[in-house]
Amino acid sequence: DAKTTQPPSMDCAEGRAANLPCNHSTISGNEYVYWYRQIHSQGPQYIIHGLKNNETNEMASLIITEDRKSSTLILPHATLRDTAVYYCIVRVYGTGRRALTFGSGTRLQVQP
């Protein structure tokens, strides 16, 4: 699976959009981008995933660049409850239930 690079930490004001970047310059054509988040002392929670088109669900939006070498997770109106570590993961879809590899992620602090 391709390696990802994320900033170690970011701040965001409550009510504003949080834009979390992820670099995956070695991504291959059949690899998807997944985002998870982990609130302190809890298990990670799946947020969203995508291949090349932008994706949106009730939690967030995922913007993938045209060359697929980077992506941005957008939380449109961040709240204090969005304070968490956000993990960007790249892996091939449908590969026999192999485990995901979690890096260190980005620690997002939403400020009141």
Count of C-beta atoms within a 10 Å radius of residue 14: 15
Rounded CA gap, 70 and 92, in Å?
A: 16
C-beta of 34: minimal distance to other proteins in Å?
5
Q: Which of 32, 52, 55, 63 binds other proteins (CB under 8 A)?
A: 32
C-beta of 66: minimal distance to other proteins in Å?
22
Structural element, H or E, at residue 109: strand 106-111
Q: What is the DSSP letter of 82?
A: G
Nearer to other proteins, 94 or 112 (CB): 94
Q: Are 34 and 49 in contact (CB under 8 A)?
A: yes
C-beta of 75: minimal distance to other proteins in Å?
19
Q: Which of residues 49-88 bind other proteins (CB under 8 A)?
A: 49, 87
Count of C-beta atoms within a 10 Å radius of residue 79: 13
Binding residues (CB under 8 A) for other proteins: these are: 32, 34, 36, 41-46, 49, 87, 89, 91, 93-105
